[in-house]
Amino acid sequence: QVQLVESGGGLVQPGGSLRLSCAASGSIFSINTMGWYRQAPGQERELVAAITSGGSTNYKDSVKDRFRISRDNAKNMYLQMNSLKPEDTAVYYCNAAVISRSNGYAFTNNYWGQGTQVTVSS
């Protein structure tokens, strides 16, 4: 199977920065879209940023100009978070649409990491 592991979360003051990482491993032929989601207590999980295999990106409006999503050739994904605000506090989850192959056919499955806590507080 496929495993996604997030890292880089922590406690920071407003205005601080963090860089989240997501490492993908397992039975992976290729990965299409990867994304970062977040969920605060009592709130719905929401998309923060996403990036396609071709490098196209999109962001939640409230994080534009503060966050940057990227990925490398090793199937890792990153989220650089600058100018953090208290409302950014949440558990951040890595998500990936992974293409696998069996019997000459390709199919896509969606995977989630376990999440990493980001807390922005003074």
In this prediction, residue 74 carries a pLDDT of 76
- pLDDT tens sequence across 62-76: 999 999 999 997 789
In this prediction, residue 117 carries a pLDDT of 98
Separation between Cα atoms, residue 91 and residue 22, nearest integer Å = 14
Give every residue of the chain whose pLDDT is below 70, as ranges. Answer: none
Task: List the 67-71 sheet strands across, edge first.
Answer: 2-7, 18-26, 76-81, 67-71
H or E segment and range at residue 96? strand 90-102
Contact 122, 14 (CB under 8 A): yes
